[in-house]
A and B are shown apart, each in its own frame.
Chain A
Amino acid sequence: MKKWIVLIAFAFFIPLASAKTYLPGEQALLLVSVHDWKGDPISSAECNATIFYPNGTIYLHTSLAYDSNIQLYKASFTIPNETGTYFELAKCKVLFPGNRPKILYARSSFYVSTGLYEVKKQIENLIQNATLNVTAQINITGNLTQAVLNATDEIIGLLLALHSTPITKQYCENNTLVIEKIATWTINKRTYNITKVERINCPFGCSNGECVNPLFSVGILFGIIIFIGIVIYLVWRFT
Chain B
Amino acid sequence: MKGFALLTIIFVIIGICLIILANTLPLLPSVKTMLYLLSFVMFVLFVLFAL
Q: Which residues of B contact A (CB under 8 A)?
A: 2-3, 6-7, 10, 14, 18, 21, 23-29, 31-32, 34-35, 38, 42
Query: Which residues of chain A (177-232) have a CB below 8 Å from chain B?
Result: 204-214, 216-218, 220-221, 224-225, 228, 231-232
Which residues from chain A contact B42 at a C-beta distance below 8 Å? 228
A236 within 8 A of B: yes
Number of residues of chain A lying within 8 A (CB) of chain B? 24
Chain B at the A interface: mostly helix, strand, loop or mixed? Answer: helix
A131 within 8 A of B: no
Q: Are B34 and A207 touching (Cβ within 8 A)?
A: no
Shortest beta-carbon distance from B19 to chain A in Å: 12
Chain A residue, CB-CB nearest to B42: A228
A239 within 8 A of B: yes
Q: Which of B6, B10, B26 contacts A210 (CB 8 A)?
A: B26
Shortest beta-carbon distance from A235 to chain B in Å: 5
Which residues from chain A contact B31 at a C-beta distance below 8 Å? 217-218, 220-221
